[in-house]
Amino acid sequence: MILVTYLPFYRLHEVASYFVKNVELVRPERAVAFIDNVFNEGQREVARGVLPKGVEYVFGNWGSRDDTWIAMLEWLRSSGVEGDALFVDSDNVLTGDFPEIHRLLLKAAEENELRAYGVLDLECWEGGAAHFLRRSELSDVVGVFFYRVYDPRFFFKGGNPFFWGPKQAVYLGRLPDEGLVEGLASALSRVTPYLRNLLSDESLLGVMAWLSGVDRVPWTVASRHLHHGSGRAGDELSVARAHAQFAEGLWRAFRKREFLAYSLKYKAVVLREAVKALF
C-alpha cells in the first residue's frame, strides 16, 4: 500500500505530529506527503529542515484541495501506481484497530469498481454524524455503512447531489481512469481560482466515484480528528457560484444530464442569494 497525505505549507507541522503516526500504524510500502502553496526554493529549504525523514515529499502550488487531488491522482499514475492507495487528511490519526478495519472495509467494497471506501472520525460520530447517516444504509458487514455518492433528492433541497461521504481517510484499490481525471481537471479549471477552496473535495470525489460506476461507498469510524482550526466557511453566494461553475464544467466535459441538473440547481441558488443580498 502507498499512504498519502496532503496539506498546505502553513500546516507543515502536521506531518511530524500526525502523519508519521499513521505511517507507523499502517506500515506502507511508500509514504508520500503533498505540500501545497510552495512556489519558492526558500520554502523548500525550510520544509526540508523541519520535515521528518522516511516520507517522500511532493511540492507544488496547486492552490486548492481539489487541484491537489487532481495532482495526486496524476502523480500516482505517472509513478506507476495503479491503486492500493490510502489518503489520510493531515490532521487525522487512524485508530489502533485500523488494520483490522481495513480488511472489513475491503470486504464491503468488493462490489464497487474502485474498491474504494471512506473513514469517519470519532469526533463526528460522537456528535451524531447526522449529515452522513441521512444518506447511508447499513451493510452486511457489522459496523459498516454504505453512503450514496449520488442522491437526486438533493436537487430539490439543501446539500449536494454528488458527495463522497466520510473522507477523513479515502482508500482507492484502483485509480480512476486517466480520461476521467482529465475531464475532472478540465471541469475544475472553469471554477474561478479564488472560489475553488469553497468547493469541497467530497464533491469532487463524489463525482469521481459516480463517473467510475460506483453508487455506494462503504465507511466506518476509524480515526481521531485533531482539528487544525484554520478553516473559514464561505458565504452561501460564493459557495453556490463555485458549485455552479464546477457543474457547468462537468456538463461540458461529460455531457451527463445529471450535471446539467447540478448546474441549474446552483445557478438558482446563486440567483436567490444575489436577490437576498440586495434587500
User: pLDDT tens-digit profile of 44-77?
Assistant: 999 999 999 999 999 999 999 999 999 999 999 9
Q: Which residues contact 13 (CB under 8 A, 6 or more apart)?
A: 50
What tens digit of pLDDT does each residue of 146-203 get? 999 999 999 988 889 999 999 999 999 999 999 999 999 999 999 999 999 999 999 9
Structure-model confidence comparison of residues 142 and 22, the more confident one: 22
Computed over every residue of the chain, the mean pLDDT equals 95
Q: Which residues contact 4 (CB under 8 A, 6 or more apart)?
A: 31, 32, 33, 34, 72, 76, 85, 86, 87, 88
Question: Which DSSP symbol is given to 17?
Answer: I
CA–CA gap between residue 197 and residue 212 (Å, rounded) = 24
User: Residue 105's pLDDT is what?
Assistant: 97
Strand (E) positions, the chain? 2-8, 30-36, 56-59, 85-88, 92-94, 117-121, 136-138, 145-148, 169-172, 216-225
Please state the rounded mean pLDDT for residues 225-243.
Answer: 83
pLDDT band at 279 (very low <50, low <70, confident <90, very high): confident
User: Residue 156's pLDDT is what?
Assistant: 87
Please state the rounded mean pLDDT for residues 255-275.
Answer: 95
Please state the rounded mean pLDDT for residues 73-97.
Answer: 97
Residue 249 backbone dihedrals phi, psi, to 5 degrees = -65, -40
Say whether pTM exceeds 0.75. Answer: yes
CA–CA gap between residue 216 and residue 117 (Å, rounded) = 9
Please list the residues that pair with 148 across neighbouring strands.
Answer: 216
CA–CA gap between residue 186 and residue 252 (Å, rounded) = 9
Q: Which of helix, strand or coil describes residue 10?
A: helix
What tens digit of pLDDT does each residue of 189-233 get? 999 999 999 999 999 999 999 999 999 999 999 999 997 665 566
What share of the chain in percent tops pLDDT 70?
97
CA–CA gap between residue 114 and residue 254 (Å, rounded) = 19
User: Residue 139's pLDDT is what?
Assistant: 93
Look up cell 502550488; give the residue: 61
User: Residue 168's pLDDT is what?
Assistant: 98
Helix axes 236-254, 201-211, angle to 10 degrees: 20
